[in-house]
Structure 1
Amino acid sequence: MVGDRDTEIRRQVLDAVTDNALTELELEKLLDVLLRRVRDLFGVDTVTVLLLDDARERLVATAAAGLEEEVYQGVRVPVGSGFAGRVAARREPLVIEQVGPSTVVNPLLWERGLQVLLGVPMVVGGQVIGVLHIGSTVPRRFTDSDIGSLQLVADRLALAANAYRSRSERAAATMLQASLLPAHLPTVPGWELAARYVSGTDSGVGGDWYDVFPLPDGRLGVVIGDVVGSGLAAAVVMGRLRSALRAYALELDDPAEVLGRLDRKASHFEHNTMATVGYAMIDTDLQHLRLALAGHLPPVLAVPGRPAVYVDVPVGPPVGQWLAIEGRRSGRIEVPPGALVALFTDGLVERRGEDLDERLDRLLATVAPEPPEVACARIMSAMVGTRAATDDIALLAARHQPEN
């Protein structure tokens, strides 16, 4: 009889997780429908889904049937601790038949009188993204068939949650990046500006950025940067670094000191983060700029009547991980009237299957002392052409206008 019961539950679980109608539901509704079905099919009192947070350190109660307080109260369980935390850490099912402070970290579970719990990991692409668990207020034995059937549900929910998270992260990162990139470049007497930003087809939106902002005494701050990583996490870090650099630029006159402060900030607050950054300070009344590089490729300088060159300034380590808080150096670059400076991220010159040196030479041959909009269009045509980028690209061109 037990075998017949297990077979019937497994059949009904298969019917539930393969129901075509579920494919039309958003994640929140899908979780609500499936968790209620699971509670009825298994004859349990509670069903809960906990998903890993972005830092992959804690499980967050996301949906529940029977113990909704877990969601309402924002229950969080450290990976490796308690019941759900152990399921995530071990990446295997777990049954406990004595629910209390010694076996779980969430007091709601024993306060509601749960006697037994069964939890299974939610895994996608070899990565644990959450835990699904069921609980009963009366003693019972969960069979191997129960475990296998619950794992089927967890696998279905894992795929749905991962797809939803990917879509949500892409949309959020796109909005964040759009809000952080300058909507309009400033109008500066004696200088023309133009820029391009293209997200990579593989990485999606990430940590590349450019920035231009006026400084006291008529100076102009120009930034190009690339946070290691991709997606929403990199875009969020990029936003914080961008804001910090702007603040330091208001207080410090040496670009090298600005990058040193940024390195200190990133090293202390942005754990396991690294970024390459180029920061130039243009004195709009004179014919030069001061530039500091933190692991970033040097800009191209095109002066009328001369071949374009990569500027010769010291290149310090990237920012982050306490690489070089002090000792950074900046260089002075002469930018005569008519000259153009092109700053870019590595996505412009790096292309799978192509030699980097050859692409750097191609860029050098493309940059000319012409209006920045024309220069950007020419550079993107030569370096990107008809093939979609495989990495994010940021490009910023600044031209010292010829005197009339």
Structure 2
Amino acid sequence: MTAEPARGASGPLEESAEELYENAPCGYLSTDPDGVIVKINRTLLDWLGYDRADLVGRRTYQSLLSVGGRIYYETHYGPLLRMQGEVREIALELLRRDGSRIPALVNSVARADAAGAIAGIRTMVFEASSRRTYERELLAAQRFAERSAQRLSVLHGLVSDFAAALTPEDVGEVLVRGVRQAVRAVGGAVWLLADDDATLVRVNHAGAAHHPLLLRAPLDADLPHAAAVRGNELIQLASVEAARRRFPGFAEILADIGRDRALFVPLAVGERAIGVVGLSFDDTGEVDDDDLPMLRTLGHQAGQALERAQLHAEAVVRRRQAEFFAALSRHLDEAPGLRQRADRLVARLVPEIARWARVEVLVDRRLTRLASASLPVADEASAASAASAASAASAASAASAEDAPDASAGAVPGQHVATALATGAPQVATTDVDGTGPAVEVALPLRASGRVTGVLVMGLDGSRDVRGRLGFLGELAESAGLALENGRLYDQERENAHTLQRGLLAGEPLHDPRVAVTTFYRAAGDGLEVGGDWYDAFPIGPHKVALVVGDVVGRGIRAASAMGQLRSAIRALAATGLNPAALLERLDRFVDRFDVGRVSTVVYGELDLTSGHLRFACAGHLPPLVLEPDGDRRFLWGGRSGALAAHAGIRSRAEDAVRLRPGSRLLLYTDGLVERRDAGLEEQMTRLAREAGRRRRAPLTAMLPDLVDALVEADQYDDVCLLCVRFGVEPRFERELPADVAQLKSLRDDFRSWLSAMPLTADERDALLLVCSEATANAIEHGYRACDDGVVSVRAEVVDRVLELTVRDRGSWRRPNPETDRGRGLELIRSLMDRVSIEPGDCATGLGDGATEPGTVVTMRRRLTWKAAA
């Protein structure tokens, strides 16, 4: 046999392998450690619509990802790849050349060189459509889970209803109603063993068929419900024929009542059945095999409920009391603070237990009422009586506990409250507060940490044995006292946490006419813990400022401590003259060495106040947003790298630079501003740019809280931290603000900053500030006197040393009333300006025949006197 020629390195085998690579059913690409594409197969090029020359050596793999994918690569994909050497089945979106997207699954493997460093990365790309089979399986699993959740809901609902059922008949009715609904049965019955343990008796008679054997039957009868109890087994009869084969007598009953199938579930306590529930079905109903375990479980639950229903009445009462305390505790725990808990307490007590209730606590040894509630009175006479009695009780109970006279049960309302505080024992007084019959008012001391902290006062029906209920009422007061004390401690801790947060964020404000900085912080929800978000702005020379926003992982004291250390480290490193990338590299080493703030994100920038040159670097942080004076807005996507000390194999940090135009605003923020559980990050960032752009002419200090209100929900689960910088002085001053006098301070601050760039005397600057403030206030008050959503526009410009100030509104003015001192603002404005004009009419001299016109423009001009140079 002749041997085949060997195939060398350049033979047909190599060509075949290359062809396989190029036309494989999945995409392949290889990159260098920085992500630059060095090789890519034809399949992936065809999917993306690129030529090889467009990508190889020119583009990075990350640049082919969507915005969300690039951020995910920086924060998760890349670090995992460098730590583990591979990542698999990552769902991403690739961008085609035409901008459309390809959903894909990717696997990446890092190839190491002899020294162990990453020499290259190979990536395999699969279209997401290949997951169709998996998605079908997932959908089936989801449906199974939904059905399981439905069964669990039935179980939970019935268990809850069983707890409220007081008699075997109640349990039977609840059981039949719930099980019929769960498995779509058309009929149901419950039989229990009689006292002789030899007879089954039907306990639910609603809709019962009157066949004698369905009402009462011997336990040894050849009937399915008797057999289910005897054997403690579930019996399923799939048809009348199946019933005829096993229980001939019952098959005739089943046919007589017009049912096709039946199911019998024993009601068991331990290993013993004490009854059975039977269900019947027509041709539309069915029982899934997966329903059988649920039915068996229901049988055990119902058996236990039936046993409980037969216990002594005292046990039932104690259980009810325990359930009430548990529900009350949960109800109070849902409210964090003291006053909220007091409101919930009295609202729960009235009318469930009391006709009226109030909570009073000791503050500086005197009683302060926190909350009260009462049933509505029947008429005006009884209302007056109730008000009089309540007033007397309040006045008497205001006395100090130490000064209260001795009082016994039956004392007049008010005295018993002071006695309860002094003695720490419940006190009872007879009253007829609301004119609806005799009542008693019980004063129950509230305790916490071994001392009396207040009193719970309740008005009860006088016809009942109140003294026999004092034990229960005392337990109620003990539980309420502890819950209210926890609310007080929560209020105290919350205030301490907020004080700490404010202290950590506080810093010396920047004072430089070339830049204005404003900040805003909102804590997540109403929690006690401080967060790890922070901002900072500080000078690093006579003509440069540092700007920082960061986010430490976690919450609480550890996060706050890490935040403080990182903030101090950045200030120290900035003073050494490091550029942003080098500063972050040194910060990596600091975090690694001291193990503080690992995987925190930071954006750090340095702004040159003479040129507007901004150098910045982002360590895993969201990109800054620039708002230009002409309305252009853009995110700064350069200078990006991973989070601090993420051990992602980062060799060096990147930085970027842009030039800000005078009047530009730079916004730095944390992820709490844009991350949502119900919306994509890219969508929220687009929304941020849109909402911030709408507010680019708002006064600076009013912009940030308004922006947060527009983007962040009230129950936000993450902190929000923002820092906004306005660079330089705009050629023209332009602001828009809501018609709200509270906005005037922000407007004055911005206008003062704009004027400070001009060589004005202090008197001239103060006069212009007063004119601007007065004209804007007039527009708000007179133009929008009956409107809550008006907007006032303010514009100022200097041409040939003449300042022109324009205030515009869209409302309608009215003539000033000469009988009052109001409406003198225009006289003041005219005295300070060279020329004042009002369109469409001068409201100081009237609007013609008294008619009003929407929209007024007040234009004011003044020639400026430049301050002489020093």
Please tell me whether residue 197 in structure 1 is matched to residue 525 in structure 2.
Answer: no
SS at match of 2:661: coil
Task: Give a deviation string over 1:217-270, Cα, whole Å, max 9, x none.
Answer: 321011000001111111111000100010000003301111111111111102
Contact 1:176 / 1:236 at 8 angstroms: preserved in 2?
no
1:151-170 equivalent positions in 2, closer than 5 A: none
Contact 1:272 / 1:321 at 8 angstroms: preserved in 2?
no
1:210-359 equivalent positions in 2, closer than 5 A: 210-270=535-595, 273-323=598-648, 326-359=651-684
Contact 1:277 / 1:318 at 8 angstroms: preserved in 2?
yes
Partner in structure 2 of residue 180 of structure 1 = 504
- Distance in 1 (CA, whole Å) between partners of 2:560 and 2:632 is 36
Give the CA RMSD over aligned residues: 2.8
Contact 2:523 / 2:531 at 8 angstroms: preserved in 1?
yes
- Distance in 1 (CA, whole Å) between partners of 2:589 and 2:492 is 31
Contact 1:316 / 1:324 at 8 angstroms: preserved in 2?
no
Amino acid at match of 2:663: G
Partner in structure 2 of residue 383 of structure 1 = 711
**Runs of at least 5 residues in structure 2 that lack an aligned partner in the other structure:** 1-485, 732-756, 758-870
Amino acid at match of 2:518: A
Contact 2:507 / 2:536 at 8 angstroms: preserved in 1?
no
Higher relative contact order (CA 8 A, sep 6+): 1
Partner in structure 1 of residue 296 of structure 2 = none
Q: Against the structure 1 CA distance between its residues 271 and 335, is the aligned structure 2 distance closer, same or farther, given a 3 Å change threshold?
A: closer
- Distance in 2 (CA, whole Å) between partners of 1:232 and 1:325 is 29
Amino acid at match of 1:374: A
Task: Give a deviation string over 1:96-127, Cα, whole Å, max 9, x none.
Answer: xxxxxxxxxxxxxxxxxxxxxxxxxxxxxxxx
1:395 to 719, 722, 726: 722
May I ask how many residue pairs the two structures share in their alignment? 243
TM-score (norm 2): 0.26
Q: Against the structure 1 CA distance between its residues 188 and 301, is the aligned structure 2 distance closer, same or farther, given a 3 Å change threshold?
A: same
- Distance in 2 (CA, whole Å) between partners of 1:163 and 1:232 is 21
Contact 1:263 / 1:325 at 8 angstroms: preserved in 2?
no
Task: Give a deviation string over 1:67-104, Cα, whole Å, max 9, x none.
Answer: xxxxxxxxxxxxxxxxxxxxxxxxxxxxxxxxxxxxxx
Contact 1:210 / 1:224 at 8 angstroms: preserved in 2?
yes
Contact 1:197 / 1:393 at 8 angstroms: preserved in 2?
yes
Amino acid at match of 2:644: V
Contact 1:294 / 1:316 at 8 angstroms: preserved in 2?
yes
Q: Against the structure 1 CA distance between its residues 244 and 272, is the aligned structure 2 distance closer, same or farther, given a 3 Å change threshold?
A: closer
Q: Shift of residue 183 of structure 1?
A: 4.7
- Distance in 2 (CA, whole Å) between partners of 1:246 and 1:326 is 23
Q: Against the structure 1 CA distance between its residues 242 and 164, is the aligned structure 2 distance closer, same or farther, given a 3 Å change threshold?
A: farther
Task: Give a deviation string over 1:359-383, Cα, whole Å, max 9, x none.
Answer: 1111010123334223313311221
Contact 2:520 / 2:721 at 8 angstroms: preserved in 1?
yes
Amino acid at match of 1:402: E
Partner in structure 2 of residue 83 of structure 1 = none
Amino acid at match of 2:639: P
Amino acid at match of 1:355: G
SS at match of 1:358: helix
Contact 1:375 / 1:397 at 8 angstroms: preserved in 2?
no
Q: Shift of residue 275 of structure 1?
A: 0.4
Amino acid at match of 1:389: Q
Q: Shift of residue 320 of structure 1?
A: 2.4
Task: Give a deviation string over 1:184-220, Cα, whole Å, max 9, x none.
Answer: 5312221111111011127642110000111123210
Contact 2:532 / 2:553 at 8 angstroms: preserved in 1?
yes
Q: Against the structure 1 CA distance between its residues 249 and 305, is the aligned structure 2 distance closer, same or farther, given a 3 Å change threshold?
A: same
- Distance in 1 (CA, whole Å) between partners of 2:537 and 2:555 is 23
- Distance in 2 (CA, whole Å) between partners of 1:261 and 1:169 is 36
Contact 2:535 / 2:548 at 8 angstroms: preserved in 1?
yes
Contact 1:205 / 1:392 at 8 angstroms: preserved in 2?
no
Q: Against the structure 1 CA distance between its residues 190 and 205, is the aligned structure 2 distance closer, same or farther, given a 3 Å change threshold?
A: same
Q: Shift of residue 398 of structure 1?
A: 0.4
Q: Against the structure 1 CA distance between its residues 173 and 253, is the aligned structure 2 distance closer, same or farther, given a 3 Å change threshold?
A: same
Amino acid at match of 1:258: L
Partner in structure 2 of residue 143 of structure 1 = none
Mean CA deviation greater in 322-331 or 191-200: 322-331
Partner in structure 1 of residue 819 of structure 2 = none
SS at match of 1:221: strand
Q: Against the structure 1 CA distance between its residues 238 and 171, is the aligned structure 2 distance closer, same or farther, given a 3 Å change threshold?
A: farther
Amino acid at match of 1:274: V
Amino acid at match of 1:357: E
Q: Shift of residue 355 of structure 1?
A: 2.5
- Distance in 1 (CA, whole Å) between partners of 2:617 and 2:507 is 25
Contact 1:207 / 1:230 at 8 angstroms: preserved in 2?
yes
TM-score (norm 1): 0.55
SS at match of 1:285: coil
Contact 2:611 / 2:659 at 8 angstroms: preserved in 1?
no
- Distance in 2 (CA, whole Å) between partners of 1:312 and 1:182 is 29
**Runs of at least 5 residues in structure 1 that lack an aligned partner in the other structure:** 1-161
Amino acid at match of 1:392: D
- Distance in 2 (CA, whole Å) between partners of 1:348 and 1:249 is 27
Amino acid at match of 2:686: D
Contact 1:300 / 1:311 at 8 angstroms: preserved in 2?
yes
Contact 1:302 / 1:339 at 8 angstroms: preserved in 2?
yes
SS at match of 2:546: strand
- Distance in 1 (CA, whole Å) between partners of 2:683 and 2:652 is 32
SS at match of 1:367: helix
Amino acid at match of 1:188: D
Identity of aligned residues (%): 36
Partner in structure 2 of residue 372 of structure 1 = 700
Amino acid at match of 2:724: A
Contact 2:573 / 2:583 at 8 angstroms: preserved in 1?
yes
Contact 2:532 / 2:554 at 8 angstroms: preserved in 1?
yes
Q: Shift of residue 171 of structure 1?
A: 6.0
Amino acid at match of 1:250: A
